[in-house]
Amino acid sequence: MPKISVGRDQEDRDEHGLKGTGIIGKHLVGENEEAHKANPIYFDLARPHVMGIFGKRGTGKSYSMGTIAEEIQSSDVADNLSTVIIDSMGIYWSMKHPNNRSISILEDWDIEPKGYDANVYIPEGKTREFEKKEMPYDGTFTLNPGEFTAQEWAMAFDFDLSSQQGILLERVISKLKEKRGSDYTLEDIVQAAKKFDFPKEIEEGLVNRFRAAEDWGVFGEESTIEKFTERAEMSIVDVSVFGELSSGWSVRSLIVGLMAKRILKKRMTARRIEEIEEMDNISQNEMPITWMFIDEAHEFLPAKGKTPATDPLLKWVKIGREPGVSLVLATQQPAKLHPNALSQCDIILSHRLTAKQDINALGEIMQTYMRHDIGHYIDALPDQPGTGLILDDNSERIYPIQMRPRKSWHAGGTPDAFED
Phi-psi region of 249 (alpha: psi -120 to 50; beta: other; left: phi over 0): alpha
CA–CA gap between residue 47 and residue 330 (Å, rounded):
19
CA–CA gap between residue 270 and residue 280 (Å, rounded):
15
Cβ neighbours of residue 34 under 8 Å, at least 6 residues apart?
Answer: none
- DSSP single-letter state for residue 88: S
pLDDT computed for residue 23 by the predictor: 97
Cβ neighbours of residue 291 under 8 Å, at least 6 residues apart?
Answer: 45, 69, 72, 81, 82, 83, 84, 325, 326, 327, 328
- SS3 readout for 310-346: HHHHHHHHHHCCCCCEEEEEEECCHHHECHHHHHCCC
Question: For the chain, which ranges sit under pLDDT 50?
Answer: 416, 418-420
CA neighbor of 274 nearest in space, from 260, 286, 289: 286
CA neighbor of 315 nearest in space, from 292, 331, 332, 333: 292
Half-sphere exposure of 247 (CA within 13 A, CB side): 20
End-to-end CA distance of the chain: 44
pLDDT computed for residue 88 by the predictor: 94
Q: pTM for the whole thing?
A: 0.93
CA–CA gap between residue 61 and residue 332 (Å, rounded):
8
| 8 Å CB contact between 331 and 294 | no
pLDDT computed for residue 199 by the predictor: 95
β pairing state of 4-6 and 325-331: unpaired
Q: How many helices (H) and strands (E) does the chain have?
A: 13, 13
pLDDT computed for residue 369 by the predictor: 63
pLDDT of 134-170, one tens digit each?
888 999 999 999 999 999 999 999 999 999 999 999 9
pLDDT computed for residue 418 by the predictor: 44
pLDDT of 178-222, one tens digit each?
999 999 999 999 999 999 999 999 999 999 999 999 999 999 999
CA–CA gap between residue 239 and residue 312 (Å, rounded):
18
Cβ neighbours of residue 394 under 8 Å, at least 6 residues apart?
Answer: 6, 7, 8, 9, 44, 346, 347
CATH 3.40.50.300 is the classification of domain 50-141+219-386 = yes
pLDDT computed for residue 272 by the predictor: 80
In the chain, CATH 3.40.50.300 sits at 50-141+219-386
The neighbour count for residue 397, using CB atoms within 10 Å, is 14
pLDDT computed for residue 368 by the predictor: 61
DSSP 45-70: -SS--EEEEE--TTSSHHHHHHHHHH
pLDDT computed for residue 420 by the predictor: 43
pLDDT computed for residue 245 by the predictor: 76
Phi-psi region of 17 (alpha: psi -120 to 50; beta: other; left: phi over 0): left
